[in-house]
Each structure stands twice: as structure tokens, then as C-alpha cells.
Structure 1
Amino acid sequence: MKDKIGYFSRRIIECILALIDVVPSLIVTFNPLLFVMFIPVGVYAILTWPWTLLKDIPDPFHSGESLYWLTYAIILDRDNILFPTLFRWGLIDLFLLASGLAIFLISFISWMINLRKDGGLITSGAYRFSRHPQYLGIILLSLGITIRSLRPISLIAWITLLIGYLILASLEERNLFKVYGQKYEEYARQTAFLIPHLRFNFPKWLSAEKPYRYILLMLVWVILVISVVISTRNIVVALRSLAYLKMILLYNDAANLMET
């Protein structure tokens, strides 16, 4: 009887210890910050879907056409291994995908470990080189996917994701300056905002506490999106026409060869 009681007691203690170890991980996993962090990714995923709805939206810059051309794949030279084609990855997009994923995972693990310890300001690991390495990883990873997708709508989605993370990082910094004060100011002076070794001191009127930075970022987003819509349409159509012309010529050459 005593052996059974001792056995069950040990099991209960083991379960309690396991819960003590698991619960912090669950808290980290379901932390509301994670949902906020991946909002730009969700917007990116929605925008990159080739919505047939675009067939009914007129192109404001090209009369008589709809915006559905934004979903057309840009057909590139299949012999250039640096860039992708419809059937394979290129070296550039694959490198961006792999490096972005690595940066994100390394910084995310560092953040989880720090959160389980004390949740204080983290300045080690990937955070020695960038104040927002997780966002940097996601931005690079999504850029690789954007290049691979070969669609103008993907470029618009990536621009939206980029501006979204710049706004999100700025909002976080506004809170971090309030919480850590001088300590975070010193860290910000020594560490790049996003890209390692690229330190830029914002003027006071563009500080994270001021609304002007967010207004400027939204204005940049509008300008970039309009630029993509205006400039890429002719490029997309020209590249597709050139690719189709090559296919027709190859087909004709093959047909002539078979006849002879």
C-alpha cells in the first residue's frame, strides 16, 4: 500500500513539475503579442491570393481595363538561375527565404527564452545587431516568397507588410522608451533599428512618440502602391507577350522539323 501511495505521489509531483515547465511555454505560444506580430503576415497572405474580384475593379490608371492583371505571373528567362521561373526557385529568392527564416527562428527562440526567465529588455543574441530581428526575418522571408510568386499583387502585398512592420516596430519602441527609459535609449544608440550596422537617428519630429512618423509611413505606402500599379502593368504584359511569342516560335520550329 505504501509503495502504491509513494508511486502515485511521485507521479503527481512529476505532473506538477511538467506543468510548471510547460505552462510558461503555453503562455509564450498564446501570448497576445504573437497575434499582433503576425497581423501583417495575415494581410500579406490575403493580398497575395489571386482574387477574381479584381476582374470587377477598374484600373484607375489604364482605362478600359480591370486590376486583374495584378495577378498575372511575370514570366522571366528560364535560363537565369538567379531568378525563379514558374517551375523552380531562383538563387536570390531561395537565399532570402532561407536567411529570413533563420533570422526569425534564432531571434524568436531568444525572445522565448528571455520571456520565460524574466521578460526584461533583451539585448543579446540576434538583438545585439537589430532591435527588431524577428521583423527583419519575416520581411526577408516574405521578400523571397514575393520574388518567387512573380506577381505584381505580391509586390504590393510585400510593401504593405514592410510598412506594417515598420509601424509595428515604431509602436513597440514608443512603449519600450516609456518602460526602460535611459536604458533603452542607450541600447537604441548602439543597435540598428532593423538592418544590422545600419544605424539611423530619426529627427525628433519623426520619433516614435510623434504621429508624424506613422503619417509619413502611410504616405510612403500609398506612393509605392500607386507606383507599382502605374509602372508594372506594361512590363508584365510585355514579358508575357514575349514569352508567348517564344513559345509560338518554338512550336512552329518543331512543327516544321516534323514536316521535313
Structure 2
Amino acid sequence: MKIKTGWFIRRILECILALINITPSLTVIINPLFFIMFFPLGAYAILSWPWIILKDLSDPFHPGESLYWLTYAIKIDGENIFFPSLFRWGIIDLTLLTIGLIIFLASFIFWLMNLKRGGGLITSGIYRFVRHPQYLGIILFTLGITIRSLRPISLIAWVTLLIGYLILASLEERSLLEIYGQKYSEYSKRTAFIIPYLKFNTPKWLSVGKPYRYMILMIVWVILVIAIITSMRGIVFALRSIAY
């Protein structure tokens, strides 16, 4: 028993030392840029909450109604294993949660190890397939939560998160191009932006250095939010089940 206990303690110490080895200095962790990465995720968490304040906000597309219906949960009837009910997980949401978490943790650890080695442009590992794997992981993870929730407000929150990370990734691209120049330009040509193997030839007027890119993303966000509010009310009231 003593041998097993000693072996267990040694393994714990080895894990702690390994984490210390890949963890950068505290000055890196408390850098404001580190926290900016989680701003869209914070917006998602805030918007996803079934705010009681929505009871006092009128629905601009349905006179006489409040926007509180956005917090209603849609119930999928029957034992459908692909979509979740209000009380259990389905295959789709669990798969997205798992894949998203794995991608995020793998890329985050890879990023920390790179910082420990002195930083620099990362083009290997998971970064060979996508330039912003951490954002991809968060997007997939929160999509799983959104499907699990089955609330219009959660869908609006996820769309907000998605557009937020597209904007944040674009701003990062502009900064990386200034730092690494041609090296990053070549890397971006052979590596997908945020979805693996999906590459676009972006027009110059939509490049990361142009304001039109961000204006279009904001317009897309507004259109999607309006589409959700105008189209999902009928679905919600046809299949609704308020989870309170």
C-alpha cells in the first residue's frame, strides 16, 4: 500500500511540474490582451441568461408583446437521441461540446508552450489547419450549449459570440501582419482562417486592414438577430415548454 501511495504522489508531483513548465510568467497571464480573448464568451454568458428585464421590453415586430418569449425553451418531444430534451443531453450537443473543448485545450496548451519557449509565430501542430483554433474551440463548445438550451436568446447570444470572434480574429490578423509581415501573409494563404480546410480569396477591400470588413460583420449580426426575433416566435409558441 505504501508503494502505491508513493507512486501516486510522484505522479501528482510530475503533473504539477509539467504544468509549471508550460505555464508562462504571471506577467503574461495578467496581460489585458489575454483577457480580451474571452470578451465574446463573456457576452455570450450574459446574453444567454433568461433576463427578467425582457418582460419590460416590447417586441418591435409583434406589437403588444414583450421580448420575454426569447427566454422560452423549445421542447423536442419523444426520445430523439440527436436533439436534447430539457432533461438530458443529445448526440449533437455533446459531440460539439467535446470537440470544442478538445480543440480549445489543445491549442491553448500549445500556445502556452510557445510562450514558454519565447513566443513567435505558431504554424505547427493544430495551427497547421486553422489560424485561430482557440476561437474555433470556443465557438463549437458554445454551439453545443446553445443546442442544449434550445432558447432563442441563446441563439442570439451565440450569433453575437460568433461575430465577436470573427471581429477579434480579424483584428489579431492585422496585428500579426504588422509584426511578421510576409511570413504571416504566406502562412495565412496556406492555412484556413477559422474553419479547417475552408479558404477564401478575400477581396482587398475586405482585408483585415479595411473598415468595410468590420462594418459588414456588424450588419450581418444585426440581420441575423432580426431574423431570429421575427422568425422564431411562431416556432417557440408552437413547441414551447417554459423551463421554470
Over residues 185-219 of structure 1, what are the superposed CA-to-partner deviations in whole Å (9 max), with x where a residue is unaligned? 10001100011110112100000000000000000
Q: For residue 113 of structure 1, give the secondary structure of its aligned residue in structure 2.
A: helix
Give the distance between the partners of 1:157 and 1:173, measured in 2 at CA.
24
Identity of aligned residues (%): 71
Give the distance between the partners of 1:21 and 1:155, measured in 2 at CA.
39
Q: Which residue number corresponds to residue 249 of structure 1?
A: none
Over residues 22-52 of structure 1, what are the superposed CA-to-partner deviations in whole Å (9 max), with x where a residue is unaligned? 9834334323222100000110000001011
Q: Which residue number corresponds to residue 44 of structure 2?
A: 44
Q: Which residue number corresponds to residue 108 of structure 2?
A: 108
Letter of the 2:236 partner, please give it: V
Higher helix share: 1
* Equivalent pair of 1:78/1:84 in contact (CA under 8 Å): no
1:78 offset after TM fit, Å?
3.2
Q: Which residue number corresponds to residue 146 of structure 1?
A: 146
Give the distance between the partners of 2:38 and 2:116, measured in 1 at CA.
21
1:150 offset after TM fit, Å?
1.1
Give the distance between the partners of 1:40 and 1:97, measured in 2 at CA.
17
Q: Which residue number corresponds to residue 192 of structure 2?
A: 192
* Equivalent pair of 2:73/2:150 in contact (CA under 8 Å): yes
Give the distance between the partners of 1:136 and 1:21, measured in 2 at CA.
26
Q: Which residue number corresponds to residue 214 of structure 2?
A: 214
1:104-183 to 2 correspondences below 5 Å: 104-183=104-183
Q: Which residue number corresponds to residue 229 of structure 1?
A: 229
Give the distance between the partners of 2:92 and 2:46, measured in 1 at CA.
24
Give the distance between the partners of 2:201 and 2:77, measured in 1 at CA.
41
Q: Runs of 5+ in structure 2 lacking a partner? A: 1-19
Give the distance between the partners of 1:30 and 1:233, measured in 2 at CA.
43
* Equivalent pair of 2:61/2:230 in contact (CA under 8 Å): yes
Matched residues, number: 225
Q: For residue 24 of structure 2, give the secondary structure of its aligned residue in structure 1.
A: helix
Give the distance between the partners of 1:28 and 1:113, measured in 2 at CA.
12
* Equivalent pair of 2:191/2:197 in contact (CA under 8 Å): yes
Q: Runs of 5+ in structure 1 lacking a partner? A: 1-19, 244-260
Give the distance between the partners of 2:172 and 2:43, measured in 1 at CA.
19
Letter of the 1:159 partner, please give it: V
Mark the structure with the bigger radius of gyration: 1
Q: For residue 24 of structure 1, give the secondary structure of its aligned residue in structure 2.
A: coil
Q: For residue 240 of structure 2, give the secondary structure of its aligned residue in structure 1.
A: helix
Q: Which residue number corresponds to residue 96 of structure 1?
A: 96
Over residues 42-77 of structure 1, what are the superposed CA-to-partner deviations in whole Å (9 max), with x where a residue is unaligned? 100000010110000000001110000000000112
Larger relative contact order (C-alpha < 8 A, sep ≥ 6)? Answer: 2
With normalisation by structure 2, the TM-score equals: 0.88
With normalisation by structure 1, the TM-score equals: 0.83
Q: Which residue number corresponds to residue 60 of structure 1?
A: 60
